[in-house]
Chain A
Amino acid sequence: MFFLYVIRSVVFILRKFKITSSTAFPGLLVEKYFPHLVPVLLNKLKDVIVITGTNGKTTVASAIHYILENSGKKCFINASGSNMLRGILSHIIINLDNKLNLEHDYSILELEEATFPKLVKYIKPKLVIVTNIFRDQLDAYGEIDKTFAYIKDGIENSNNPTVILNASDQRLVHLYKCSNRVISVSVSEEVKKYLFLERYYEKPQELDIHPDVFIHNIEQKDIDHTLITFEYKNEKYDLETSILGLHNAINLIFAWLAVVHLLGFNDTDNKRFLDILGDFKPAFGRGEKINISNTEFILMLVKNPAGMNMNLYSLSDIISANDAILFILNDNIADGRDVSWIWDCDFNIVNRFQNNVILVSGIRKDDIALRISYEVKDKEIKVFDDYEKIFDHIMQKEYKRVFVLPTYTAMLSVRKFLYSKLGIKQNL
């Protein structure tokens, strides 16, 4: 305990005097020099909710956080970008009070897939949400099957947690056997068409699944209004959200279901949680809207083919002639160094868009321009070296809305750039 006290004090002083603002540093210190404190720190987490999967983790975690906090519960949540063990440890240390307590009711942990089995060695989550498993950053993980194995391992070593998953995802159905408490979400055939664009080759196991939640319809009325109609325990519910994207609709249902599982007793509670969720604003870069003079920028993070396809599908109904779309492709480690994945995306969807101009930028702008040139006919592709030039172009053309589809590090930099235009400094 003494060491922990010292570490906390050192970190406190370093941060106070801005000697380091590195979020990974305290965790690194513990992992490397005081490994015996790892279980001590992790054991401070109460009622752990784990969110894992390749796409949508941050949105689900933020939405759960939002509903719980607005229901009077105090939450510990690891910030996006700190979804590995080191980041979580740091976050715990930073939030310890003078008596080394971590005051909270629930811990919401967004976990990178490979971290999940490492964490459950120390702490057993109460609830595990598996959003999906799509092809994602193969240069880091090697294979989709490996990602699946990490998640399976995590659940199997978690002391029979409740698992929330999407039963319409054939690959996830294989997780049914890992826990005897599975809550599943299923979607109508119509919705399915837009959500599961990756083909599966293994036959799904023949399981008699009765989904707990059935999503009938997701209707995107316009950029600020999406209506989700679904059924839970023979009761019909509607969720109206300002969050764009068909995939995000499913993410919100996951979040709602998690809270209902933890706190819901009756239909009145459940409806109240939906009302709260209706006001939830998107996590940064995931449908986030930024207004600059007369143009609205909508940031839609993309990191793999499934994410790209879903975002493009979501846009196809709402993009208009005076809008623009901007793709930013980077190949830093956090983006995935291999850009081959863009060839698995369905850019043909862009041909249906009403707008005429496609803007392209990022470290691998030439790759994305080439990819789009193969698929998209009759639209002008404009390639830009830097954000200032894109911005000048946008301001000059007075696009009504610019839908920005950046990879991870591109999202961080373009977001920072756009906020700087508003005179707001963003350190994220």
Chain B
Amino acid sequence: MKKIRINHLYSQSMNIYGDIGNIKALLHILDLHNIPFEIFSTEIGDNKVKEADIYFLGGGQDKDQYSVFKDLLRHKSFISDEVKKDKVFLLICGGYQLFGKFFLDAEGNFIEGLGILDIETKAPDNKVTSRCIGNIVVKLNPDFIQRFDIDTSFSDYIVGFENHGGQTFFKNDSLIFLGDVIQGFGNNSFEKKEGCNYKGIIGTYMHGSFLPKNPHITYGIINRALHNQNINAIKMDKTKLIYESKAHKYILNKYQIV
């Protein structure tokens, strides 16, 4: 059987919000289904990005993010090609912002992004009083469920913790949201929409970590990668997701959802 290759982009610079849990979740589920995998990373200064089936990019501190911004631009054409091939990308917070057109920071600096996602992110202006911090609950968008073949028998929701100043807005109708914000902020403080999906890319502000508490998304991601390799999809066995289910439901119960 072919291996599922995971490339953890900038694993050393973009790693302060527990996002490594997403990698652990992918490996956990791959392991559960005896699917062989290979994991490697791409760091600042590396000549090229090693080809993979699933790419992951987490969030980092401002200073680290600026270094990553610059470095990532060198790999723009390779990444664009991979996106065209429907490769899977999971982007959290800063990683999500980096795939957009630009980021305008609090000091007014214009930071160019990869421009693969038609989104713009700006530091909060005076209409927004504080950072978006707290638990977040999102009801999944049916279009996204369909595109990623999400098994909603686990849940119709995704849960996590957000912590961002940046306000993200879509600039193109071809992008879809991951869902409607039931609790928390999401992309920005106005629209009550969270995340973004374009081709194989999932961008989100959810830490927590995101995937461990949302295994239906983990399955969606893995199945998409398997599909790209013409391998049959794997099916969720909910009896093996007891801890996941409890952690997921804790947040839903806390806000009296379902």
A residues contacting B by CB (< 8 A) are: 135, 138-139, 142-145, 199, 201, 337-344, 364, 366-367, 369-371, 373-374, 383
Chain B: minimal CB distance from A302 (Å)? 15
- In the complex, whether B247 has a CB less than 8 A from a CB of chain A is yes
Chain A: minimal CB distance from B25 (Å)? 8
Give CA–CA (A194, B62) in the complex, Å. 28
Contact residue among B18, B28, B62, B249 (Cβ-Cβ distance under 8 Å from A340): B18
Give CA–CA (A197, B161) in the complex, Å. 24
Could you name 21 residue pairs across A and B whose Cβ atoms are closer than 8 Å?
A138-B16, A139-B161, A139-B163, A143-B16, A143-B61, A144-B16, A144-B61, A201-B64, A338-B17, A338-B133, A338-B163, A339-B161, A340-B207, A343-B18, A343-B212, A344-B15, A344-B16, A344-B18, A366-B249, A367-B247, A370-B246
In the complex with contacts A201-B13, A337-B161, A343-B209, A145-B20 CB distance below 8 A: no
Chain B: minimal CB distance from A243 (Å)? 29
Give CA–CA (A357, B22) in the complex, Å. 26
Give CA–CA (A70, B13) in the complex, Å. 46
Query: Please, what's the 1-or-0 string for B174-217, where 1 marks a CB less than 8 Å from any CB in chain A?
Result: 00000000000000000000000000000000011100110000
Residues of A contacting B161 with CB < 8 Å?
139, 337-340
Residues of B contacting A338 with CB < 8 Å?
17, 133, 161, 163, 207-208
Chain A: minimal CB distance from B58 (Å)? 10
- In the complex, whether B101 has a CB less than 8 A from a CB of chain A is no
Name the residue on B nearest A344 (C-beta).
B18
Contact residue among B13, B15, B20, B131 (Cβ-Cβ distance under 8 Å from A142): B131
Chain A: minimal CB distance from B95 (Å)? 15
Chain A: minimal CB distance from B64 (Å)? 7
Contact residue among A138, A343, A373 (Cβ-Cβ distance under 8 Å from B163): A138
Chain B: minimal CB distance from A204 (Å)? 15
- In the complex, whether B78 has a CB less than 8 A from a CB of chain A is no
Chain B positions 1-54 with a Cβ under 8 Å from a chain A Cβ: 12-13, 15-21, 24-25, 28
With A344-B16, A344-B20, A370-B213 given, name 11 new contacts (CB 8 A). A139-B133, A142-B131, A143-B16, A144-B16, A337-B133, A339-B208, A340-B17, A340-B19, A342-B18, A343-B20, A369-B246
Query: Please, what's the 1-or-0 string for B50-78, where 1 marks a CB less than 8 Å from any CB in chain A?
Result: 00000000000111100000000000000
A201 touches B12 (CB 8 A): yes
Chain A: minimal CB distance from B3 (Å)? 21
Residues of A contacting B63 with CB < 8 Å?
145
B212 touches A370 (CB 8 A): yes
Give CA–CA (A275, B213) in the complex, Å. 50
Contact residue among A138, A366, A374 (Cβ-Cβ distance under 8 Å from B28): A374
Give CA–CA (A67, B62) in the complex, Å. 42
A374 touches B16 (CB 8 A): no
Give CA–CA (A79, B143) in the complex, Å. 55
- In the complex, whether B250 has a CB less than 8 A from a CB of chain A is yes
In the complex with contacts A370-B212, A374-B212, A145-B61 CB distance below 8 A: yes
Residues of B contacting A138 with CB < 8 Å?
16-17, 163
Residues of A contacting B86 with CB < 8 Å?
none
Give CA–CA (A201, B247) in the complex, Å. 32
Chain A: minimal CB distance from B201 (Å)? 22
Give CA–CA (A341, B244) in the complex, Å. 17
A340 touches B208 (CB 8 A): yes
Residues of B contacting A366 with CB < 8 Å?
243, 246-247, 249-250
- In the complex, whether B134 has a CB less than 8 A from a CB of chain A is yes
Name the residue on A nearest B64 (C-beta).
A201
7 cross-chain pairs, A with B, having the tightest CB-CB distances, nearest first: A340-B18, A343-B21, A343-B18, A370-B243, A366-B246, A366-B247, A340-B207
Residues of B contacting A374 with CB < 8 Å?
24-25, 28, 212
Chain A: minimal CB distance from B68 (Å)? 10
Give CA–CA (A314, B12) in the complex, Å. 26
Give CA–CA (A370, B161) in the complex, Å. 16
Give CA–CA (A364, B13) in the complex, Å. 28
Give CA–CA (A341, B20) in the complex, Å. 10
Give CA–CA (A92, B131) in the complex, Å. 34
Name the residue on A nearest B62 (C-beta).
A143
Chain B: minimal CB distance from A331 (Å)? 9
A367 touches B20 (CB 8 A): no
Chain A: minimal CB distance from B65 (Å)? 10
